[in-house]
Amino acid sequence: MKVEQTIERCRELIAEPLGAIAERWKESHPGGRAVACFPVWSPAEVIHAGGMLPLGLLGAGATVELTHADSRFQSFVCSIAKSSLELGFQGLLKGVDGLVFSNICDVARNLSSIYKRNFPHFHVDYLHLAQNSTSGGVADYMADELRRLARGFEEAFGVRVTEPSLAKSIELYNAIRARIRGLYAFRIAEPQKLSTVELYQILRAATQAPPEEALSRLDDLAAELPAREGRPKDRIRVVVEGAFCEQPPLGLLEVLEEAGCYIVEDDLFLGWRWFTSDVPADGDPFRALGQSYVDRAVPSCTRHEGREPRAKGLIEKVRRSRADAVIFTPPKFCEPALFDFVPMRQGLEREGIPHLLVEFEEKMWTFERTRNEIETFVESMLFD
């Protein structure tokens, strides 16, 4: 399949409501269960190992009007929390059986229990992912936490999550992550051949399809992309940082590119490509996966990284991708991203790396002011 056709298929997939995707999958998997994961990281492997369909619960963007959720959550709460809850109120998750949240922020924490109260038919689990990565007890704890999640699925849905099945699912997701790492490396090398708008759609589609199908699509892309035509343009290379949870509107990514940026690194769908290298396939797979969350993790605002300066991971990203600048894109009201902006900015300034702050909301639909800001920033760098 040609790259354009594959991307078109991705576009179609992500336009579908999550519930419809789950229902369609169930037609060919009678009795199957679908479980949606709120950002950032969830062990999709555990879901898949139980024969269930893991999906990404990524809010509703501008596709739904809030009619219930805004009376539950105040005006100062991020949009993804409200629109994700609204999906439940409007029945757009019909077909999804379970939801997984984790301790990324206080809003996600409260959203989890509010979901459970309002929609008792969902099996809702809340993971406490370790924040003390140096404790001697952390590996055992994480293994136990993943086993607890599995037991919850077993009790709720009558599925079985065995060690051999989990080991196989880990291998499958290792393969997916390796392909995604390949796409990121490709975009660093030849950003003119793969736009971030396209990459975004590819990655989002991977969170809304069975992983086997996602892998096959990624394989097609890996085979076809190098031969794609693409003439380099006079743009600056940037890292986009901050959109690891609430999804930026495609229009925002388009404006970033049209205004003169090659986005060569980002933190989009961070949880779906969490590990810097393969999760070991031998030994206790629960432990391997849990331990990898701690010691193979990409830098993230939602995880405490010991005494590593918060800017270190970002600066490494800039160097590795040969970026000229960083565009911070924290979603409005996102505390983890907004807090980390301060030490990250300080780190960039120490290194002399230019940066720009562009806040967004998933339901944002006009971008002219943003375009203006980015064009000015790009011009200031190109003609400096």
Partner 1 sequence: MPAEVKERQYQGKVHQLSRDMMNAWMAQLARANETGEPTGAIMISGNCVELLRAFDIHPIFPEVTALQNAIRHQSLPLILKAEEVGYSSDNCAYVKADMGLFLSGGMGPGTKMPYPTVTLCNYVGCNVYVKWFEHLAAATGSELFMLDVPFLRTSEPTAADVRYVVKQIEELIAVLERISKKKFDIDKLREILAYSARAEEGYARSKDLCKGSPAPFDSFFDAINMMGPINVLRGTREAADFFDEAVKEFEGMVAEGVGPLSEERFRMVVEGPPPYPYYRSFRNLFTKWGAVAVASTYSTVGGIWEWGFRHDPARPLESIAEQMLTENLTNRSIVARYGQIKRYVEEWKADCLVIHSIKSCRLFSAGQGDMREYFTKELGVPTLLVESDLEDPRYYAEAQLRNRIDAFFESLEHKKLVAA
Q: Which residues bind partner 1 (CB under 8 A)?
A: 70-74, 76-77, 81, 103-107, 109-114, 116-118, 125-128, 130-132, 135-138, 140-141, 144-145, 148, 304, 306-307, 309-310, 330, 332-333, 335-336, 338-343, 345-346
Q: Which is nearer to partner 1, 13 or 124 (CB)?
A: 124
In the complex, least distance from residue 131 CB atom to partner 1, rounded to whole angstroms: 4
Q: Which is nearer to partner 1, 304 or 319 (CB)?
A: 304
If 0-12 CB within 10 Å is exposed, 13-18 middle and 19+ buried, where does residue 306 land? exposed
Q: Which is nearer to partner 1, 199 or 289 (CB)?
A: 289
Is the separation of the CB atoms in 108 and 85 below 8 Å? no
If 0-12 CB within 10 Å is exposed, 13-18 middle and 19+ buried, where does residue 14 land? buried
Instruction: Provide the b/e sequence for 368-377 (b: ≥16 CB within 10 Å).
Output: eebbebbeeb
Q: Which is nearer to partner 1, 345 or 371 (CB)?
A: 345
In the complex, least distance from residue 272 CB atom to partner 1, rounded to whole angstroms: 21
Partners of 100 in the β-ladder: 37, 125
Q: Which is nearer to partner 1, 107 or 318 (CB)?
A: 107
Partners of 239 in the β-ladder: 265, 326
* Residue bearing tokens 């950032």: 40
Q: Quick count: other Cβ atoms within 10 Å of Cβ 360? A: 23
In the complex, least distance from residue 57 CB atom to partner 1, rounded to whole angstroms: 17
Q: Which is nearer to partner 1, 39 or 336 (CB)?
A: 336
Instruction: Provide the b/e sequence for 236-251 (b: ≥16 CB within 10 Å).
Output: bbbbbbbbbbbbbbbb
Q: Which is nearer to partner 1, 194 or 311 (CB)?
A: 311
In the complex, least distance from residue 40 CB atom to partner 1, rounded to whole angstroms: 12
In the complex, least distance from residue 226 CB atom to partner 1, rounded to whole angstroms: 41
In the complex, least distance from residue 6 CB atom to partner 1, rounded to whole angstroms: 38
In the complex, least distance from residue 356 CB atom to partner 1, rounded to whole angstroms: 13
Ranges assigned E (strand) in 16-121: 34-37, 53-56, 98-102
In the complex, least distance from residue 135 CB atom to partner 1, rounded to whole angstroms: 5
Q: Which is nearer to partner 1, 125 or 257 (CB)?
A: 125
Q: Which is nearer to partner 1, 93 or 221 (CB)?
A: 93
Partners of 53 in the β-ladder: 34
Instruction: Provide the b/e sequence for 43-62 (b: ≥16 CB within 10 Å).
Output: bbbbbbbbbbbbbbbbbbbe
Q: Which region holds residue 236: left if phi is over 0, alpha if psi is between -120 and 50, else beta? A: beta
Greatest extent of the chain over all pairs of C-alpha atoms, in Å: 63
Question: CA-CA distance, 266 to 31, in Å (whole number)?
Answer: 38
In the complex, least distance from residue 106 CB atom to partner 1, rounded to whole angstroms: 4
∠ Cα 243 249 254 (to 5°): 100
Dihedral pair phi/psi, residue 109, rounded to 5°: -60, -50
